[in-house]
Amino acid sequence: MKNEEALAVQNLRVNYKIYRGILKVLDGINLTVKRGEKIGLVGETGCGKTTTLKAIMGILAGNAILSSGRVTVNGKVVLQRSAHHMVRKSAKRVAMIFQDPTASLNPVFTIGEQMELVVRYAANRSSSAREAAVNALRLAQLPDAERIHTNFPFQLSGGMRQRVCIAMALAAEPNIILADEPTTNLDVTIQDQVLKLLKRLCDEQELALVLVTHSLGVARETCDRIYVMYAGTIVEYASSQNIFENPYHPYTRGLLAALPRLTGEGIAEGIEGRIPDYLNPPQGCRFAPRCEHATEKCFSTKPGFYEAEDGHFVSCFLYETERGVASDVSHSSDTES
Amino acid sequence: MSLTKYIIKRIVYSIGVLFGVSILIFVISNIVPGDPARMALGPRAPEWAVEDLRKEMNLDKPLVERYFLWLSDLMRGDLGESLRSRRPITKDIAEYLPASIEIIALSAFFMAVIGINLGRLSARFSGTWFDGVVRILSYTGIVTPAFVWAILFVLLFSYLIPIFPTTGRITPGLAAPPRITGMYIIDGLLTGNFRVALNAFWHIVLPSLALSMGGAAQAARMTRASMVDNAEKDYILAVRAYGVPNKLIYRRLLLKPSLVAPISIMALDIAALLGNAFLVELVFLYPGISRYGVEAMLNKDLFAIISVVLIIGIGYTIANVVIDVIIAHLDPRVRLGGAKSA
């Protein structure tokens, strides 16, 4: 049971059509989440974390093009590139928590009205929707759930709103929660409470969690495994501990070095350069232009995944010789159609 | 409780505004060149007769004194006498205003129903041929003056396909219902004259539709724009991901937060009809307040002008209060005054 896959994303490529051309944002994302597992998706702003989540939820913007890939939730394919178009089904038992709790609650309906809709349509329960909603509010540790049920979003504080969003996610009775930087818009003191709540709920109800964050610290505290993303690609994944103790990919190393420290050693160094232009992304490794170890090969060929240690995969030619291509990543098998 | 309080507050403000408006109207219409007494009596009247009329109308007194004389008359419900019809203006208005209210009420209804529904549907099917058709219709609606629609409708639906009557409030030969409100439809219904009520309704369909076109077109554009805008908000993405049906989203979850702008514009469009319906009333030979007002201005019928403009001012004020109430109803942030209960 525990080892079953709750979520599998295979070779996901998503482009956006804009006026100036085609933005090639996601360039073959692969990730798997087992039941009850908490993974972190870490990377800079603009690296495609939110696009990945939206693809899983089936709520990509109208100008998004799925050029390849497949998303499987609880064994069912919810998103797939078929012969000519993308097939999209709304994923049951997946819930999402958005970055900005103010924008993710409808300003003109009460919390109760909104939650009951979720209970009705996502959890397929038409009777006792109200009790289910109030119950979910209680689970999210909201004091006076009965009253909050009748409140409008603007009557609550930011932290309470995010708890309401968590409650709403629970009301969908999911087994996977996707959380898109759920604490970024909150006060520092409240950030911690909300994260702890999320983590505890996932543990108690054996929910899988995909936590998107740009903060490595948050990911380490919360997640079992971490996927590091760079410019629409996964560059490295391993258990949280391993990523911190033994980062392999030059980007991960840079990211860790960029963490400010409280010991007062001055401002941490960042990584030179910027995220590449998605209109014209580098042909080979997308990190190559910013990488100090880059060779000619890096510029012309995309690296595969190499297992640097048990369960620690790196997408970088520096580790090509280590143990060969990882078994669970196959770049060609999904594009048949 | 708070909604009632809110409405009362709005009404009290409105009275203050109307007081200011009355000063403005009075001053402007009195300093416009031309001698009302001379205009009323014609170029051949002897100077002493004109002088007498001036005295009768208090035109020989200073402006401030005249204003207060007029104001105290107004408080007693006396708007003065029309120089043209030689009747108390209150009588004229009692005759023309109800007719206008009937037309404006129906065109408000058309505006809201047509405008919001077209906007909602073209937001839902944005980018399709339907959206394109509505877009063209809306631009046509916005740029075409109401009287052109009026003529077009008469040609189409009165001559080519004779479904609707061309002119007047009621078919000649049919007796008007006993006067209660002055609105034929309401009076007809109240006194059980359903045939008369229906006949009167049939007469105002085309003029109301002609008047509503511009506002409906604008409301459709605004509804579509704000719905398309809000459709990308997280709260809509979320319910969509949870499998809430599109129909429910576009009818309720997305529509309600998107209505504030179109409704504000529509209410002002409706209020503007009081004064702007002139040409449409002319096409349908409909005895409305707008025609009365324009004729009063052409004849410099001083007190009639002031009264009509004041009524238009009241119309705008009422429209504003109504908008505020509707918006307060739609948007809890307005209704509950942003008070935090947590």
Confidence category of residue B342, pLDDT binned at 50, 70, 90: very low
Give the one of A57, A104, A155 whose C-beta lies nearest to B235's C-beta: A104
Chains A–B, number of C-beta pairs less than 8 Å apart? 85
d(CA A183, CA A200): 15
Give the tens place of pLDDT for each residue, A31-44. 999 999 999 999 88
Q: Is A318 on the interface with B (CB under 8 A)?
A: no
CB B238 within 8 A of CB A122: no
Chain B residues in contact with A103 (beta carbon < 8 A): 233-235
Give the one of A108, A121, A160 whose C-beta lies nearest to B342's C-beta: A160
d(CA B140, CA A270): 57
Cβ–Cβ gap A92/B341 under 8 Å: no
Give the tens place of pLDDT for each residue, B12-43. 888 898 889 899 988 888 887 778 888 788 88
- B258 to chain A, closest Cα gap in Å: 10
Q: What is the mean pLDDT of residues A249-256?
A: 90
Which residues does A272 contact at the CB level (< 8 Å), separation at least 6?
A: A290
Quick one: pLDDT at residue A91? Answer: 63
3-class secondary structure per residue, B166-219 = CCCCCCCCCCCCCCCCCCHHHHHHHCCCHHHHHHHHHHHHHHHHHHHHHHHHHH
Quick one: pLDDT at residue A89? Answer: 64
Q: Is A152 on the interface with B (CB under 8 A)?
A: yes
Quick one: pLDDT at residue B29? Answer: 83
Asked if the model's pLDDT at residue A259 lies above 80, the reply is no
Asked if the model's pLDDT at residue A264 lies above 70, the reply is no
Quick one: pLDDT at residue A177? Answer: 94
Give the tens place of pLDDT for each residue, B311-327. 998 988 888 888 888 88
Residue A56's closest CA among A4, A117, A98, A7? A7
Quick one: pLDDT at residue A269? Answer: 67
Residue B199's closest CA among B187, B213, B211? B187
Long-range contacts formed by A279-288: CB under 8 A, 24+ apart: A279/A20, A279/A21, A279/A22, A279/A23, A279/A24, A281/A24, A281/A27, A281/A231, A281/A232, A285/A315, A285/A316, A285/A317, A286/A27, A286/A230, A286/A231, A286/A232, A286/A233, A287/A230, A287/A231, A287/A235, A287/A249, A287/A250, A287/A251
Q: What is the mean pLDDT of residues A224-238?
A: 94
Q: What is the mean pLDDT of residues B277-290?
A: 90
In one-letter notation, the amino acid at residue A99 is Q
Mutation target for B interface from A54, A117, A165, A170: give the one with most B CBs within 10 A: A117
CB A143 within 8 A of CB A134: no
Cβ–Cβ gap A155/B336 under 8 Å: yes
Give the tens place of pLDDT for each residue, A303-317. 989 888 888 999 999
Quick one: pLDDT at residue A335? Answer: 38
Q: What is the mean pLDDT of residues A170-175?
A: 92
The rounded Cα A119 to chain-centroid distance in angstroms is: 24
Mutation target for A interface from B234, B248, B335: give the one with most A CBs within 10 A: B234
Q: What is the mean pLDDT of residues A253-260?
A: 82
Give the tens place of pLDDT for each residue, B170-183. 888 888 888 888 89
Cβ–Cβ gap A103/B234 under 8 Å: yes
Residue with more model confidence, B121 or A58: B121
Chain B residues in contact with A102 (beta carbon < 8 A): none
Chain B residues in contact with A114 (beta carbon < 8 A): 235, 239
Sheet of A176-180, strands arranged across: A94-97, A176-180, A208-213, A38-42, A225-230, A233-239, A312-314, A306-309
d(CA B307, CA B327): 30
Quick one: pLDDT at residue A272? Answer: 75
Chain B residues in contact with A146 (beta carbon < 8 A): none
pTM of the model: 0.83
- Percentage of residues in chain B having pLDDT higher than 70: 98
Chain B residues in contact with A118 (beta carbon < 8 A): 239, 242, 244
Cβ–Cβ gap A121/B256 under 8 Å: no
- B252 to chain A, closest Cα gap in Å: 10
Chain A residues in contact with B253 (beta carbon < 8 A): 106, 109, 117
Q: What is the mean pLDDT of chain A?
A: 86
Query: Which residue has 């394109």 as its token pair?
Result: B132
Angle at A12 between CA A93 and CA A317, to 5 degrees: 130
Q: What is the mean pLDDT of chain B?
A: 89
Give the tens place of pLDDT for each residue, B134-156. 999 999 999 999 999 999 999 99
Quick one: pLDDT at residue A324? Answer: 53
- Distance between the two ends of chain B, CA-based, in angstroms? 20
Asked if the model's pLDDT at residue A26 lies above 60, the reply is yes
Asked if the model's pLDDT at residue A329 lies above 50, the reply is no
Q: Is A118 on the interface with B (CB under 8 A)?
A: yes
Residue A259's closest CA among A305, A218, A231? A218
Instruction: Give phi and psi for A60, each to the nearest 5.
Output: -65, 150
> At B58, which helix (H) or strand (E)?
none
B163 HSE (CA, 13 A, CB side) = 8
Mutation target for B interface from A51, A59, A88, A106: give the one with most B CBs within 10 A: A106
Quick one: pLDDT at residue B340? Answer: 40
> At B337, which helix (H) or strand (E)?
none
In this structure, what token pair is assigned to residue B227?
A: 């719905």
Long-range contacts formed by A251-257: CB under 8 A, 24+ apart: A251/A287, A251/A290, A251/A291, A252/A228, A255/A42, A255/A216, A255/A228, A256/A216
Cβ–Cβ gap A90/B240 under 8 Å: yes
Give the tens place of pLDDT for each residue, B222-262. 999 999 999 999 999 999 888 899 999 999 999 999 999 89
Asked if the model's pLDDT at residue A211 lies above 80, the reply is yes
- Percentage of residues in chain A having pLDDT higher than 90: 51
3-class secondary structure per residue, chain A = CCCCEEEEEEEEEEEEEECCEEEEEEEEEEEEEECCCEEEEECCCCCCHHHHHHHHHCCCCCCEEEEEEEEEECCEEEEEECCCCEEECCCCCEEEECCCCCCCCCCCCCHHHHHHHHHHHCCCCCCCHHHHHHHHHHHCCCCCHHHHHHCCHHHCCHHHHHHHHHHHHHHCCCCEEEEECCCCCCCHHHHHHHHHHHHHHHHHHCCEEEEEECCHHHHHHHCCEEEEEECCEEEEEEEHHHHHHCCCCHHHHHHHHCCCCCCCCCCCCCCCCCCCCCCCCCCCCCCHHHCCCCCHHHHHCCCCCEEEECCEEECCHHHHHHHCECCCCCCCCCCCC
Give the tens place of pLDDT for each residue, B202-222. 999 999 999 999 999 999 999
3-class secondary structure per residue, B76-110 = CCCCCECCCCCCEHHHHHHHHHHHHHHHHHHHHHH
DSSP 8-state code for residue B249: I
Quick one: pLDDT at residue A210? Answer: 96
Chain B residues in contact with A90 (beta carbon < 8 A): 240-243
